[in-house]
Structure 1
Amino acid sequence: MTEAALPDAEASPAPILPLAGDRPTFVGLSRERLAALLEQAGVPEKERRMRLSQLWHWIYVRGAQEFGDMTNVARQLQTHLVQHATLARPEIVREQVSADGTRKWVLRLPPRGVGDRGAEVECVYIPERDRGTLCVSSQVGCTLNCSFCHTGTQKLVRNLEAWEIVAQVMVARDRLGDYPGRTPPEGAFVPKDGGRFVSNIVFMGMGEPLYNYANVREAIGVLTDPQGLQLSRRKITVSTSGVVPDIAPLGAETGAMLAISLHATNDALRDELVPINRKYPIADLLEACRTYPGVSNARRITFEYVMLKGVNDSLSEARAMVRMLRGIHAKINLIPFNPWPGTQYECSDWAQIERFSEVIFDAGYASPIRTPRGRDILAACGQLKSDTEKMRARARLMLEEQLALGTD
């Protein structure tokens, strides 16, 4: 098992700020970070609180993209900010729209300093009748090597800073026309019923969120600020493969909903499917779930279980899950396996998934079968992998083919 997690962001006193040219962007920053930059910009202390409130409103409520749009901010300060800062978002490298309406964005993050070309991550928007869910990434790549997950085949590059996580939400809202008083961009998927399209956030994109806990915690603080993006903590779900020591702090400090990537009911199989289990076995993981702060029948823990044909889909596994989860406020999401190039696994037959679900349901647990979304654009669960890695792989293949032709 390779588990070379990056050092937690708390080890660093300040984030590495994104740059547009030589100017930092304010998009995605917390109140504390933004206040510090206003101080550095020379805003007098007596008016800093007011200016912070104004900027916060324009950035997170109105979605401003230019300082000149901020009509109640003093012209002198606007001019100063234009010279020293920006409201730049990550660049959309590619936008793909699935036949089912799911949208995937490949985003190039701004450089973090001289010589940095920026990294790429993917986020996915899933429209449903009663909600709009945005799946965000917390790392570039992943270190967990789960054998059924496409993202796990991409090496970990680095943790995302908190602003890089929040910026994914900002880009999605830009593209969805999800700001009041703003003219939606060309091609935007605008709600027709006056509703808000980004209503739920799930940390289920690239990376293991709890290996980047400090930045995830800070990002959740920005997303749920009542004067800003105003997302409900109960509509933010953090999915972990089982980083046990950070599960309790997540509940106590963020109030977020918890999801566990389970996928097996015994340590031997989970060691194979989810290698972090070798460090934090099932018994330790379930104890952390039983004591998760705020867990109740109204705030149940979601256990995610990918259905792999002939691997973990027997009815004896379903009965073992029922026994294992006894006493935990839980629901079990059954996920039909989403194939990706080169995988060794197949999706369980639909009839077997339904039989599996019935065993769990009859025991008193909700066991919805997740409808696969975005499979045709590799946007479904376990399929995300940044274009940076894919393009490098294609480039290596083309080079190998050219070299082979040259030696014939």
Structure 2
Amino acid sequence: MGVLSHASTFAPTVGSDGRRNLVGLDRAELTAAVAELGLEPFRARQLWHWIYHRGATSFETMTTLAKPVRERLSGHFMVRRPEVSRDLRSEDGTRKWLLRMEDGQQFETVHIPEEDRGTLCVSSQVGCTLTCRFCHTGTQRLVRNLEAGEIVAQVMMARDALDEWPAPPDGRLLSNIVMMGMGEPLYNYENVAKALKIVMDGEGISISKRRITLSTSGVVPIMRRCGEELGVNLAVSLHAVTDELRDRIVPINRKYPIAELLEACRTYPGASNARRITFEYVMLKGVNDSLADARELVRLLKGIPSKINLIPFNPWPGAPFERSDRKQIERFADFVNAAGYASPVRTPRGEDIMAACGQLKSDSLRLSAAERAAMAQVIAEKEAAQSL
């Protein structure tokens, strides 16, 4: 894919001390890694258990391995998480981490607690190659793809913070994953797929594919492959019902227009009434929120097992749009619901720490003066409140 050439390359699995990070290695790679040290293959199974099931952060805690083996492993490898540069908590319980990697690049991860589950919003890139006009991340150029280990590490870091190793069978604080953070997951498919396969492994982190949703802006050629190889839930960032408007606010539409995108949704492997495709639709005042838009949305989605998430626009400094009025959102939702489509209106979460949908943007790149001032005020207020 030509777009991937915009991302600089980096090998974060090797630390500044020359040791290789085992986080992000799959079973075959772990087996090869221990073989390089002349260790028996069963050591890879032990490491898998300690790293991905128990959440070990050092070899010293891996007590089923003999001390000489632990020392040998420690001399060549590490089990490292990203550095937490900032940890903010919203008044509604949402938590946002700014994570720093070995090369100094930073990105954000968000945990959203609810009564019956806890959802982690995971990033796939530093910045984003897309320029969706309603998304704060889209104002930040793509720096690089995240490696598989950096994607898996977000889940592991969140479990560290939630004290959830090993994960309980029921009542998990981290029960669901949405690939809806920074970046377009399907433009980093190889690393995303590798990471999710590790996350889904039943003898490790063990989060079911039924509890994982991957969101795409419409990278049509990779959608089928995602369904066939991963079987995760699919969410599609639609946001407009005409190519004219979607070309403007979701520019990837110029490459993969609505008709082509919806055909890929109709043929997405596993899509059924039991496993519906989620269409995300951000509500922009006076732009895409009329009843005429609602009627066209219903017409477009006919025959696709669907539900529609209506997302009130979450503003950010310098945003070119406003949130639709509440009554207009309700009228839109009522029409779509009456047509037979579940269309819940998403409650904005974490707005006070810029953690809501469409608000993520890392500190890796310079912000404008207005953005810096706004973010500085938000951060100062939150850190002051949390220190009380």
**Fold shared per TM-score above 0.5:** yes
Match of 1:26 among 22, 26, 38: 22
Within 5 Å, which residues of 2 pair with 1:83-162? 83-110=75-102, 117-162=103-148
Which of 272, 276, 293 is the matching residue for 1:300?
Answer: 276
What are the within-5 Å matches in structure 2 for residues 207-246 of structure 1?
A: 207-246=183-222
Matched residues, number = 372
TM-score by length of 2: 0.92
For 1:247, what is the secondary structure of its paired residue?
A: helix
Quote the offset at 1:121 in angstroms. 0.8
Instruction: Extract structure 1 runs of 4+ deviating beyond 3 A.
Output: 392-398
The aligned counterpart of 1:59 is 51
1:313 aligns with 2:289: yes
Query: Is this contact kept in 2: 1:313–1:348, CA < 8 A?
Result: yes
Q: Residue 201 of structure 1 aligns to a residue in which SS?
A: strand
Offset of residue 52 of structure 1 = 0.9
Quote how far apart the aligned CAs of 1:39 are.
2.0
**Cα distance 1:127–1:216, how it changes in 2: closer, same or farther (>3 A)?**
same
- Paired position in structure 2 for 1:350: 326
Residue in structure 2 matching 1:378, options 324, 337, 354 = 354
SS in 1 for 2:327: helix
CA contact (8 A) 1:30 1:163 kept: no
Looking at structure 2, the residues matched to 18 and 132 of structure 1 have their Cα atoms a distance apart, in angstroms, of 32
Counterparts in 2 of 1:270-289, with a 5 A limit? 270-289=246-265
Deviations along 1:19-50, whole A, 9 cap, x unmatched? 1522111123211222222122232xxx21x1
Aligned equivalents of 1:106, 1:347: Cα separation in 2: 26
Alignment match, 2:384: none
In structure 2, distance between residues paired with 1:318 and 1:205: 27
Match of 2:32 in 1: 36
1:58–1:64 contact (8 Å) kept in structure 2 = yes
More deviation, 167-176/69-78: 69-78
| Greater CA drift, 26-35 or 15-24 | 15-24
Question: What amino acid is aligned across from residue 338 of structure 2 in structure 1?
Answer: D
Partners of 2:143 and 2:6 in 1: CA distance:
14
Query: Is 1:363 the equivalent of 2:339?
Result: yes
1:57·1:227 contact (CA, 8 Å) conserved in 2? yes
Which amino acid in 2 is paired with 1:132?
Answer: G
Shift of 1:280: 0.2
Note closer, same or farther for the CA distance 1:131–1:51 as it changes in structure 2 (3 Å cut). Answer: same
Structure 1 residue 395: Cα displacement: 12
- Contact 1:224–1:233 (CA under 8 A) maintained in structure 2: yes
Q: Percent identity?
A: 60
In the alignment, structure 2 segments of 5+ residues that lack a partner are 374-388
Structure-1-length-normalised TM-score:
0.87
Which residue in the other structure is 2:3 paired with? 5
Partners of 1:316 and 1:219 in 2: how far apart?
A: 41
